[in-house]
Structure 1
Amino acid sequence: MFIAPINTDLLLKEAEQEMLYQQLILQLNKDFNLANEGIDFPMSILPEELKIQLHEKIYRMIQYKFAEYLNLLYIIDVSEDQIKKLDGSDLVILAEDVAFLILKREWQKVWFRNKYK
């Protein structure tokens, strides 16, 4: 049964432990490119750096490319209910929370694909 980690650090740690961290990076790159938001995280990126770069990307998208941001959430299939529950009063915190939701959904895809291949 899939149980999502409760924060970004635990999620990335679990992905590494399951030897699926590289697959998570591939999934992120794939879905960002599907949304025409070219991002190319190198396979060698460290988890902490991935967390920072993803947060910055989401922050910039919320500020400057809102329609593309919504499209990205749709393509990745982030729960609309979860997005609506977030506090949008601080953009930095909002971007961090959304980055976690994106990672959580991408991790779920990778985990299920690996489990049931």
Structure 2
Amino acid sequence: MSNKLPQNFEDLISKAQDLELYSKFIQQINKDFLLANIDLDFETDILPSSLKYLLHEEIFKLIQNKFAEYLNLLYIIDVSEHKIKQLDGSDTLKLSENVTFLVLQREWQKVWFRKMYS
């Protein structure tokens, strides 16, 4: 099994579904958002397109209106500060889309590692 991180949303979702880890992936997202005190709770059978849309919307709102909570969320999820700093911050919509993927990628990594090393 490849340890390579998925490079796009579709790849990530297909890996999660192939390994039957999609519901664990959603649970991990819910757990970290709860730890960050962000009121977002997904059903474990949420459609991937809805997950992406709602998560993107939430991250966009956090960047716009609750920057401290946004930073706290990134810290709790453990998104690479280096990767965040590489993003172009001039367009908030594009930035939030890229951050959404980094969040999903990191959450996937946690679930994948737990599965591989448990």
- Give the TM-score band, short-chain normalised: over 0.9
Bigger relative CO (Cα 8 Å, ≥ 6 apart):
1
- Unmatched runs of 5 consecutive residues or more in structure 1: none
1:85 match: 86
TM-score of the aligned structures, taking structure 1 as reference length: 0.97
Residues 84-103 of structure 1: pairs in structure 2 closer than 5 A: 84-103=85-104
Cα deviation 1:75-109 (Å, max 9, x = unaligned): 00000000000001111110010000000100000
In 1, Cα distance between equivalents of 2:18 and 2:83: 27
Measure, in 1, the Cα distance between the counterparts of 2:80 and 2:44. 27
- Take 1:22 and 1:92, find their aligned partners in 2: how far apart are those partners? 27
In the other structure, the counterpart of 2:44 is 43
Q: Where does the alignment leave 5 or more consecutive residues of structure 2 unmatched?
A: none
- How many residues are aligned here? 117
Q: Secondary structure at the match of 1:88?
A: coil
C-alpha deviations, 1:6-58, integer Å up to 9, x for none?
A: 11121111111110000000000000000001210111201111011110010
Q: Alignment identity in percent? A: 57
Opposite residue 32 of structure 1, the aligned amino acid is F
Residues in 1 aligned to 2:67 and 2:13: alpha-carbon distance in whole angstroms: 26
| C-alpha distance in 2 between matches for 1:10 and 1:54 | 17
Which residue type is aligned with residue 84 of structure 1?
K
Q: Which residue of 2 aligns with 1:66?
A: 67
- Once residues 19 and 38 of structure 1 are traced to their aligned partners in structure 2, the CA distance between those partners, rounded to angstroms, is 26
Aligned equivalents of 1:83 and 1:26: distance in 2?
Answer: 24
Corresponding residue of 2:32: 31
Q: Give the whole-Å Cα distance in 1 for the aligned partners of 2:105 and 2:98.
A: 10
Q: Residues of 2 paired with 1:111 and 1:92: CA distance?
A: 29
CA shift, 1:63, in A, is 0.3
User: Which ranges of 4 or more aligned residues in structure 1 deviate by more than 2 Å?
Assistant: none
